[in-house]
Amino acid sequence: MIPAAAASLGQQTRTGALHLTFERRAAQTVLVGEFQKAPLMIVRPFALPCGTLSVFVVNPTGGLLGGDHNDIQISVGPGARVLVLTQSATRVQPSASGTAATQTVQLAVAAGGRLEYYPERVLPFAGSRLVQSLRASLEPGAELGLTETLASGRVLSGERLKFAEYRSRTEVWCGPQRLYLDQWRLSPSPQTRAPGIWGELDYAASGVFVGPGTIQDWPAELGRLASGLTASGAVWLRAAAARGPLLDADLGAARQALRQQLFGASPLQIRR
Amino acid sequence: MNLRLLQLADSAFPSGAYAFSDGLETLTVRGEVRTAAELKAFLCGQLAHGWGQQDAPACALAWTGMLRAAPDELDALLDDLKLVRGPREASLRVGANLRRAALSLWPEELSTLPPTRHHAPTFGAVAAALGASQADTVTAYVSSWLLGRVAAATKLMKLGGLDAQRAARQAGDAAQDCIQHALRATVSDLGGFSPLLDIAAAEQPGLDSRLFQT
Amino acid sequence: MRQTGAMSPETPSHLPLKIGVGGPVGSGKTALLEVLCRELRGRYDLAVITNDIYTFEDQRILTAAAALSPERIRGVQTGGCPHTAIREDTSLNQEAVEALQSEFPGLDLIFIESGGDNLASSFSPELVDAWLFVLDVSGGEKVPRKGGPGVRYSDLLIINKIDLAPNVGADLRVMDADARAQRSVLHQSGRSEPGPEQIRPFIFTDLKRGLGVRDVIAWIEHDLLFKPVAPPRIGLV
């Protein structure tokens, strides 16, 4: 996925890598293997009160530039419980040549393992392009929670829908069966403000959850958040809001409801 | 223009499509689409970012037969990409009805019709077997969607028939862009961005009273 | 009237008789179904498909009246096109028929109730084996004279709420004569006095009090199911 053209132009692009392997050892989840290549790195993992091991991904350079590539691989062994968060929003900045920043995320969860990946939102700057793909491979009995959040731009500075392209493909597989496929592709146009698309809102989120429980109480907020089952039985989530904190609150409540019903998990208590 | 394609795309063709609004009913009930201008904006939005980025290319790709996309692959993609159950099942039901009606009318021409399930690939595959060109097929498919939406809108909104047709006409450029995009699309392009309609479509079954199935 | 197509191996050996129930809003379609279900459910394996325009109201009424168990009553929304769903494009009702047949393979009868409509509606022969049309007296005595496919060509015309006739100044004898004229099979070929065997059946009812229900059931059993029972009495008796 590293854009060869950018490299041949001699552009200053970076390839960050983060490969993490978690396993359950002596009733605890531990990070047993790691490979970090700047600008991607993690701060030291710590266990939450519920026993889930939490990891913050950090990008000290302030974001992704056109031409940059991030390669994230996370593997979770049987019985391990892992929560991966990012420390701050992912800022996507344009390159002079208009090349896209790219990110690939590969997740693997073994039977009885649980991986949750809730990165902070993506803020695409004017002229920027981001192409990302996430693929999760689950063994039967694995648990997964993913959310993805997009802002229309640097909303607080008044920069909205000025980015060139946002493309994000998310697939979840259990063995040979695809449980979930979603592809957000957005090149802003005057129609992006249409009713049914984004209206006057500036934040949107999607998510997918896989777990053994059944949902009795579907997360829903009129006109702001909905959830349901995909054709293959994964739980999907959609949300949109005018303001970031409102989206975060809706999303947080929905996550908690789904984690509780699907995983039988107690609420996450995250220290930032 | 192929006479059989016009018949296939006509609103009177018995596919049951008239009973589905695919979320437009919720948007009108919520007051988000109330005027002819808002209807036009809704149509253009769906053509540019929603339905037009998923179903129109699926129709175009199905027309090519096995050349650019196997029909079962397209159906499997639509199963997943149509997250919300109502529109997903509507697409399957209309697809099955369209297929059944077409097979009953043109048994010989469609004797080797590949198996299709969703509406878009069924329309594309049937139209190809009936001898319609790819551009005509996608044009007819997009047009029948557009006119189906505005017909639904006259029942959901305070909107006259002429105003509804005008909204469809004003969405003409967006429809042309959508058709051109669909004709160039590959399987990996299927997708879009329509979070508010997804949410609205998921809320449809909860409406107190409703005209449409989805 | 039953489907007599060649039996292929896939054709179920037992096909239910499908009866359409049409008529204007408020004429008594749901009341008729309620009473028919109650009277017939002991003898026949029954199901009902309702085509409400806007809600699941009829489905709810029938379920609440415990006329049938809820899974035997299917609601179909018609996108505001009640005509279309029973006439030009019956695919959604066909889906409901197939779903009921697969869930209840022994069904004898399926009633398909149209969403309340006007005098112009009629059922597709692709959907039903026979259909009846329910009018009521409160619309005035002139309604049968106005004709339309329901009044003329339905397999059974029911003129309901005859108890209201004095209140609305309707003369049942006029309605009887007009219905006979409209429903004369040779009406259009110009024969002036057709015999009674050439009149499509029509029955006056007061469903609230059960008047005429016996004849509606006789029509179903004698005319449609070919049971050895007395035929329905036609018109004013």
pLDDT tens profile A124-156: 999 999 999 999 999 999 999 999 999 999 999
Give me the pLDDT at residue B153, please.
Answer: 93
Mean pLDDT of A30-36: 94
What is d(CA C89, CA B100) in angstroms, rounded to the nearest whole number? Answer: 12
Quote the tokens at residue B6: 């016009």
Chains B and A touch (3+ CB pairs under 8 A): yes
**pLDDT (tens digit, 9 = 90+) per residue, C30-87?**
899 999 999 999 999 999 998 876 666 777 777 777 678 888 988 888 877 888 888 8
Token readout for A171 is: 């697939």
* Mean confidence (pLDDT) of chain C: 85
Confidence of residue A33 (pLDDT cuts 50, 70, 90): very high
pLDDT score for C185: 79
Query: Any chain C CB within 8 A of the CB of B7?
Result: no
- Shortest alpha-carbon distance between residue A23 and chain B (Å): 31
Q: How high is the pLDDT of residue B207?
A: 76
> What pLDDT does residue C186 have?
62
Are the beta carbons of C95 and B97 separated by less than 8 Å?
yes
* Cis, bond preceding C70 (omega within 30 deg of 0): no
User: What's the number of domains chain B is made of?
Assistant: 1
B152 in reach of chain A (CB within 8 A): no
The Cβ-side half-sphere exposure at A237, using a 13 Å CA radius, reads 30
Contacts for A35-38 with beta carbons within 8 Å, 24 or more apart? A38/A14
Q: Is the pLDDT of residue C203 over 80?
A: yes
* B195 Cβ under 8 Å from any chain A Cβ: yes
Q: Is residue B211 part of a domain?
A: no
Looking at the predicted structure, is the pLDDT value of residue A5 above 70? no
* Contact across the interface for B209 and C81, Cβ inside 8 Å: no
As a whole number, mean pLDDT of residues C143-161 equals: 90
ipTM strictly over 0.90?
Answer: yes
Q: Do B192 and A198 touch (CB under 8 A)?
A: no
The rounded distance, in Å, linking the Cα atoms of A207 and A214 is 17
- Which CATH number goes with the domain that contains B86? 1.10.4190
| pLDDT confidence of residue A14 | 87
Q: Does B187 touch chain A (CB under 8 A)?
A: no
pLDDT reading at C131 higher than 60:
yes
Quick one: pLDDT band at residue C122, thresholds 50, 70, 90?
A: confident
pLDDT given at position C140: 83
pTM, rounded to two decimals: 0.88
B161 contacts B167 by C-beta, under 8 angstroms? no
Q: Would the pLDDT of A2 be above 50?
A: no
pLDDT at position A160: 97
Residue A10 predicted with pLDDT over 70:
no
The residue ranges of chain B whose pLDDT is under 50 are: none
Residue span of the structural domain in which B141 resides: 3-8+34-203
Q: Cβ contacts of residue B198 below 8 Å, gap of 6+?
A: A226, A238, B23, B83, B84
pLDDT at C9 over 60: no
CB contacts < 8 A (A, B): 130
pLDDT at A1 over 70: no
Angstroms from B203 CA to nearest CA on chain A? 8
Rounded average pLDDT over A58-69: 87
Q: Quick check: is B76 in a domain? A: yes
Instruction: Count Cβ atoms below 10 Å from residue A272 Cβ, excluding itself.
Output: 5
For residue A260, is pLDDT > 70? yes
Interchain CB distance below 8 Å, C78 and B100: no
Interface of A with B (CB under 8 A): 166-167, 169, 178, 180-186, 189, 191-199, 201, 204-206, 220, 222-232, 236, 238-240
Strands laid side by side in the A129-138 sheet: A28-37, A15-25, A69-76, A101-109, A129-138, A165-174, A177-186
Question: Could you say which DSSP state residue C129 is in?
Answer: S
Q: Which residues of B touch A206 (CB under 8 A)?
A: 195
pLDDT range class, residue C6, cuts 50, 70, 90: very low
CA distance A143 to A212: 8
- How many angstroms separate the CA of residue C143 from the nearest CA in chain B? 28
Average pLDDT, chain A: 93
Q: Are residues A106 and A77 in contact, defined by beta-carbon separation less than 8 angstroms?
A: no
Q: What is the pLDDT of residue A9?
A: 45
C32-to-C160, C209, C214 alpha-carbon distances in Å:
9, 11, 12
What HEC string does chain B produce?
CCHHHHHHHCCCCCCCHHHCCCCHHHHHHCCCCCCHHHHHHHHHHHHHHCHHHCHHHHHHHHHCCCCCCCHHHHHHHHHHHCCCHHHHHHHHHHHHHHHHHHHHHCCCCCCCCCCCCCHHHHHHHHHHHCCCCHHHHHHHHHHHHHHHHHHHHHHHCCCCHHHHHHHHHHCHHHHHHHHHHHHHCCHHHCCECCHHHHHHHHHHHHCCCCCCCC
Query: Does residue B14 sit within a domain?
Result: no
**Residue B81 maps to a domain:** yes
Give the closest-approach CA distance of B79 to chain A in angstroms. 6
User: Does position A3 have pLDDT exceeding 70, yes or no?
Assistant: no
- The reply to whether B191 touches chain C by the CB within 8 Å rule is no
Which residue among C53, C54, C81 sits closest to B18, beta carbon to beta carbon?
C81
User: Looking at the partner chain, which of C53, C89, C95 has a beta carbon nearest the beta carbon of B18?
Assistant: C89
Per CB-CB distance under 8 Å, the chain B contacts of A192 are 45, 48-49, 193
Domains in chain A: boundaries: 13-198
pLDDT digits (tens, 9 = 90+) for A193-204: 999 999 999 999
What residues of chain B lie within 8 A of the CB of C92, using their CB?
Answer: 16, 19, 93, 97, 213
A193 contact residues in B (CB cutoff 8 A):
41, 45
> Hunting for tokens 């930032």 — which residue is that?
A272
In chain C, the domains with their CATH numbers are: 17-224 (3.40.50.300)
- Beta strand A122-124 with A90-93 is parallel
Output the pLDDT for position C53: 64
Residues 6+ apart with CB under 8 A from C80: B152, B155, B211, B212, C53, C54
Q: Do A182 and B38 touch (CB under 8 A)?
A: no
C169 C-beta neighbours (distance < 10 Å), count: 8
In this predicted model, what pLDDT tens digit does every residue of B177-201 receive, in sequence order? Answer: 999 999 999 999 999 999 999 999 9
The HSE-up count of residue B109 (CA atoms within 13 Å, CB side) is 16
Report the first-to-last Cα separation within chain C, whole angstroms: 26
Q: Which of A167, A181, A204 sits opposite B195 (nearest CB)?
A: A204
Q: Is the per-residue pLDDT at C190 higher than 60?
A: no
In a domain, B22, yes or no: no
Q: Which of A115, A161, A150 is nearest to A248 (CA)?
A: A150
